Amino acid sequence: MEGKPPENFAPRKPRLAVGYECTPISDAVERCGEPRDVLDATRHYEQFEQDFDLQQSLGVSELRYPAGWDKVLVAPDEYDFEKIAPVIESIRRRGFVPTIDLCHHKVPEKIENGFANPEFPNHLLDFALRFQAAFPFVERYTIINEPAVTALFHSTEVGLWARHKWADVFLNMAEAISTVSRALKEKNPNIRFFQPEPIDHDEAAKNADPKVVAHVRFLREHGRFGMDSLLRGKIDEAHPFFKRLTQRGANAERVLRFQKNPAEPYQKDLDFYVHCFKVWYRNRRGHLTHRINSSPPALSDVITEYKSRLPDVKMGIGETNVRGTVRDRITFFKWVLEQCAIARIERVSWWGLTDAALWGGGNLTRHWRTAQRPDPVGIFTLSDDAARGRLWRREANEFSEIVKGYGNNQISVEDIPAYEFTGELKTVLNRYARNQMKHWRGVHQTETAAAYAQGV
């Protein structure tokens, strides 16, 4: 299938949610002298009422929002919820429907060794119960954002924020999710859980050696579902992921304990970015690595594959965006909505409401960080107002007007215009455009690559 809607297709319109990017900036202490997250950098906490006004104007009531663990933790097991109470109260007063992220990629600095701390599950449990008691109207939670990816970031596997033993971090997070979900459900049976993780699709390069092929086969069959299998109590001694965990130092008894202590049921929120679809190969030094798939499958097909592997789990899109011009984002938005309609996905969350600050380094972000400009991924544009001490102005644009029309039921997916991709996206998204967007008519010429390079 090429991701084109079938004849006489009448999809259910996916509803919209927005996310508030709150990832900790990986080198904030080095660059700023203190820990900061993306919402600090974009001055959201100083302008949250304005941002919520913008969200309300879009006709969007659902949002993913951070619980502010690092903001309210005074000392281990001591909290000051007054620091975030005005923000959470504004969410309640507006009638928004929040999914609260209790832990988004990082543990507060006051908890030594973070995710590798043997007491981490208890620390998160204590915070979760205190938060629920302080804000009982909240009935949707993400306990840990993208736990499988976070385990890589905090272990020797990737080492972005820490270099702990992977199995310790992975199991600590799984135990925390299981324990916290059951405890919150006991407090309020109406509470629902949302478990985000990237929607991965891995392929082996042409003529790849047998070890690369085997690696990809494991990822396709078990790796991307490992956390789900553990949380749902599906891993026994015969399960391939049991071997992966124990070979990396996990205690076998602890792994098997999840069979009797699974997490509460949850919705699987698939986080989609173009780098999620990868091709694995060996580089010139013989090291196993990957690149973005230049001949990707349709997003709708990969969602359908996930549904077939987890048939009793409801799914949504928890995060999606693309770094590019306003019109690049419009075209990508149209395509994601169409693909999700084909796959019968009911909710799509754009990440995030405004442009962001870059939380990690690397080739994909070096240009924007060097220029000290916001990351162009949001619905609303952030414009630097140096006279106000870099208090970023929020500005409407063509994309925000289209999202407003869609969110307020004034336009459909078919009414959203499509433009030719610009800059590096012309290459990165070329096959998507050729194979999955060719049925669109009247694709318009958009800004030049030079305009893209300038951040228009």
Q: What is the mean pLDDT of the chain?
A: 89
Q: d(Cα 456, Cα 446) in Å, to the nearest integer?
A: 11
The whole-number average pLDDT for the span 32-43 is: 82
Structure tokens, 401: 């007007």
* Per-residue model confidence (pLDDT) at position 449: 34
* Per-residue model confidence (pLDDT) at position 398: 98
Q: How far apart are the first and last CA of the chain?
A: 34
Residues 235-277 have pLDDT tens digits of 999 999 999 999 999 999 999 999 999 999 999 999 999 999 9
* Per-residue model confidence (pLDDT) at position 358: 66
Give burial (CB, 10 Å; 0-12/13-18/19+) of 93: exposed
Q: d(Cα 361, Cα 341) in Å, to the nearest integer?
A: 34
Structure tokens, 220: 């396709």
β strands within 179-275, DSSP E: 192-198, 201-204, 267-272
Give the confidence band of 367 by pLDDT, cuts at 50, 70, 90. Answer: very low
The pTM of the whole model exceeds 0.85: yes
Which residue ranges form the domains of the chain, and what is each CATH number? 15-231+267-453 (3.20.20.80)
* Per-residue model confidence (pLDDT) at position 375: 86
Would you report the helix, strand and coil content of the chain in percent, each value rounded to 5?
40, 15, 40
Residues 136-164 have pLDDT tens digits of 999 999 999 999 999 999 998 888 889 99
4 in Cβ contact with 51 (< 8 Å):
no
Q: How far is CA 198 from CA 116, 254, 372, 453, in A?
A: 22, 26, 27, 27
Q: d(Cα 379, Cα 63) in Å, to the nearest integer?
A: 14
User: What letter would DSSP give residue 310?
Assistant: S
Per residue in 14-33, is it b (16+ CB within 10 Å) or e — as a string? bbbbbbbbbbbbbebeeeee
* Per-residue model confidence (pLDDT) at position 77: 84
Residues 81-110 have pLDDT tens digits of 999 999 999 999 999 999 999 999 889 999
Residue 380 pLDDT exceeds 90: yes
Residues 392-435 have pLDDT tens digits of 789 999 999 999 999 999 999 999 999 999 998 988 888 888 88
Residue 362 pLDDT exceeds 50: no
Q: d(Cα 230, Cα 262) in Å, to the nearest integer?
A: 8
* Per-residue model confidence (pLDDT) at position 360: 56
